[in-house]
């Protein structure tokens, strides 16, 4: 699949990733809108057609992995993640959990899985977070991410396993 750093498959006993396909696009865009709209409106204003085009561009470049969760009566999609393998890092381009699935440890489990994959590959995990999204920044810092730079709109964060050169 284009650009993804995480394979489809199990995360743990109740979570797994599957490759997103065209039928997933509308719901994933809706979840993304619900997750990011307030931040984007604050920073740039919301342009629905631009957001849809950008979503489609990233969908094609970094095929999302839909996060599936086992339930008592089967399974359900609870979010999606987009990652990219870079020369010295696994880059988290996007993580979106549907309303009702946030604050329940799912994001932590996904990031811990990504950190395990990075440690096995002996590389770092990188990401950007909106400066106005304090809750997300605190979440990433709790998982060991440190700020490496910032610009007007984002903090750039990095996590590296012990023994990986900090300059990479």
Q: What is the pTM of this model?
A: 0.91
DSSP assignment letter at 5: S
Which domains are delineated in the chain? Answer: 9-159 (3.40.630.30)
The string of pLDDT tens digits covering residues 16-48 is 999 999 999 999 999 999 999 999 999 999 999
| Nearest CA-CA partner of 168 in 84, 113, 93, 87 | 87
Q: Which two tokens stand for residue 76?
A: 């359900």
The string of pLDDT tens digits covering residues 81-139 is 999 999 889 999 999 999 889 999 999 999 999 999 999 999 999 999 999 999 999 99
**Do the strands 124-130 and 154-159 form a parallel or antiparallel pair, or are they unpaired?**
antiparallel
Does residue 165 register a pLDDT over 70?
A: no
């Amino acid at each position: 699949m284009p650009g993804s750093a995480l394979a489809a498959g199990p995360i743990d006993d109740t979570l797994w990733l599957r490759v997103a396909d065209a039928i997933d696009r509308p719901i994933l865009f809706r979840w993304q809108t619900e997750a990011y709209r307030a931040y984007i409106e604050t920073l740039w204003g919301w342009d629905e057609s631009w957001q849809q085009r950008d979503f489609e561009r990233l969908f094609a470049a970094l095929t999302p992995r839909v996060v599936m969760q086992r339930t008592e009566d089967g399974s359900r999609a609870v979010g999606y993640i987009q990652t990219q393998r870079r020369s010295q890092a696994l880059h988290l381009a996007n993580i979106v959990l549907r309303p009702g699935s946030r604050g329940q440890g799912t994001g932590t489990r996904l990031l811990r899985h990504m950190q395990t994959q990075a440690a096995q590959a002996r590389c770092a995990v990188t990401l950007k977070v909106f400066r106005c999204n304090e809750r997300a920044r605190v979440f990433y810092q709790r998982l060991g991410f440190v700020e490496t730079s910032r610009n007007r709109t984002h903090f750039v964060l990095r996590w590296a396993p012990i023994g990986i050169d900090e300059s990479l």
